[in-house]
Amino acid sequence: MADNRKMQYRRIGRSGLQVSVLSFGSWVTFDTQMKDETAMECMQAAKDAGCNFFDNAEAYAGGESEAIMGRVVKELGWKRQEYVMTSKFFWGIVGRMRNMQNKLNRKYLIHAVDGSLERMGLDFLDVIYCHRADPHTPIEETVWAMSDIIDRGKALYWGTSEWTADEIRAAWEIAERHHLHKPIVEQPQYNLLSRGRVEQEYARLYDDIGLGTTIWSPLASGLLTGKYRDGVPPDSRGALEGYGWLAERLTNKDEIARVERLRPIADELGCSMAQLSIAWCAANPHVSTVITGASRASQVVENFDAIEVLPLLTPEVLQRIDAALA
């Protein structure tokens, strides 16, 4: 069972905020695959393993994901000082209302953060993200709005998710020029099959502006677990209604063949393929935290045991992993 004494903690970029290198997120699972009781079991299992970073977004399950997480934290009686709570804004949840969907303008962002705080029952969020870039709103307006939200005490830090390196740099430079709160973090997809953005596109930002990353999909939506080699299990996210696009990728024979070349390495290390993949993400020093997901507490425990695999990823093992996927 995962041991919280083994958890490692890293600062997000150059900020002083320390987060567990493995964390827990609610995308897809909350409301879709689990309700309050199972969510409570999963979140407590994560916390028992040393997790202090919990990821959410306004758009997840149309706001219900935030509501579930808020109710769980209240029911468990966690002290606010014990955890880092986040949310992300862009897609909107109030339907096709002008200024309230696919936007990062000031009006939307103020409404969005207030809605998240109400659903989660919190006075402030630790980190808020611009969930995507908005080509129709000047970046300067977005930067001012995010900085103002922090000044009003509704959030402590802000960042971006799936922005280009140029967009992130532009936002940082605007904040620098006007003495505003700078973005400290980006939340990109990163895993053994999706590496370019984190390893190449953002490469100069780590030293230039001190960018941190809280990466999502370390298991490529489950593909890297190896459980899809015989088809889509009925209890997996690939079997969910409306996720046919995901099932198509998860059953791609060429991708499965690539992933299966990792199995001998995992077997030699005495770990699951999921643990190998999660630990590999954490081995990147530019990754502040690896956001994991699960639909039951036993999955949380297995995922967080990846912290014990991390020391086994020597340069030689990392080279073997690269060669297997080449």
- CATH of residue 53's domain is 3.20.20.100
22 lies in which domain range? 4-222+277-314
Q: Where are the beta strands (DSSP E) in 136-245?
A: 155-160, 185-186, 212-215
Query: Quick one: tokens of 60?
Result: 């997840």
pLDDT greater than 80 at residue 238: no
Residue 236: per-residue pLDDT: 63
pLDDT greater than 70 at residue 225: yes
Determine, yes or no, domain membership for 151. Answer: yes
pLDDT greater than 90 at residue 248: no
What is the total count of domains within the chain?
A: 1
How far is Cα 324 from Cα 318, in angstroms, rounded to an integer?
Answer: 10
Burial pattern 123-143, b for ≥16 Cβ within 10 A else e, equals: ebbbbbbbbbbbeebebeebb
- Lowest mean per-residue pLDDT among 87-101, 181-195, 222-236: 222-236
Determine, yes or no, domain membership for 272. Answer: no
Residue 117: per-residue pLDDT: 98
Contacts of 320 (CB under 8 A, 6+ apart): 265
CA geometry: angle at 244 spanning 67 and 232, to 5°? 95
Output phi, psi for 67, to 5 deg. -65, -45
In this predicted model, which residue has the larger pLDDT, 94 or 11? 11
Half-sphere exposure of 301 (CA within 13 A, CB side): 8
Determine, yes or no, domain membership for 74. Answer: yes
pLDDT tens profile 97-149: 899 999 999 999 999 999 999 999 999 999 999 999 999 999 999 999 999 99
Half-sphere exposure of 182 (CA within 13 A, CB side): 21
Determine, yes or no, domain membership for 240. Answer: no
Determine, yes or no, domain membership for 233. Answer: no
pTM of the model: 0.93
pLDDT tens profile 59-111: 999 999 999 999 999 999 999 999 999 999 999 998 778 999 999 999 999 99
The residues annotated as belonging to the active site are: 60
Residue 37: per-residue pLDDT: 94
Query: Quick one: tokens of 103?
Result: 């936007």
Determine, yes or no, domain membership for 255. Answer: no
CA geometry: angle at 220 spanning 127 and 2, to 5°? 70
Determine, yes or no, domain membership for 210. Answer: yes
Determine, yes or no, domain membership for 258. Answer: no
How far is Cα 271 from Cα 304, in angstroms, rounded to an integer?
Answer: 12
Say which amino acid occupies 78.
W
Query: Quick one: tokens of 326?
Result: 């080449």
